Amino acid sequence: MIRATGFGPATIVPNQHLILDLVVKLIDIRSKIEGIKPTLLMELFITLGFPIVLLLGLTLLFMTDGVPIWVQQFNRNSSTLWNFGIVVMGTMTVIIYLARR
């Protein structure tokens, strides 16, 4: 992880390879488990590992540097985004239903 201090160049935190080591260990597990295809393992990592790594990374980032302005603005517009998402999903459902008839 790279941390900008505001003065001089950015400093590198010693645990910067933690995520890379986790991915390597997940791939190494594949070689020990019989019968799992590499594509299935990659899909498993994408569906489970990537969101967990992203969530933990953002949590650590927000804990050290504070919540950025773009996240605060996103939070202000969350009800609008939810309403837009619900309308889009409903519209797509109707379109799919009518296309199948």
Say if CB 10 and CB 2 are below 8 A apart: yes
Task: Give the model confidence (pLDDT) of 15-59 as tens digits.
Answer: 556 666 766 666 666 556 556 666 777 788 788 888 898 899 888
Q: Could you give the CA distance from residue 27 to residue 64 in angstroms, rounded to a whole number?
A: 30
Q: Which residues pair with 12 in a beta bridge?
A: 2
Give the global pTM: 0.38
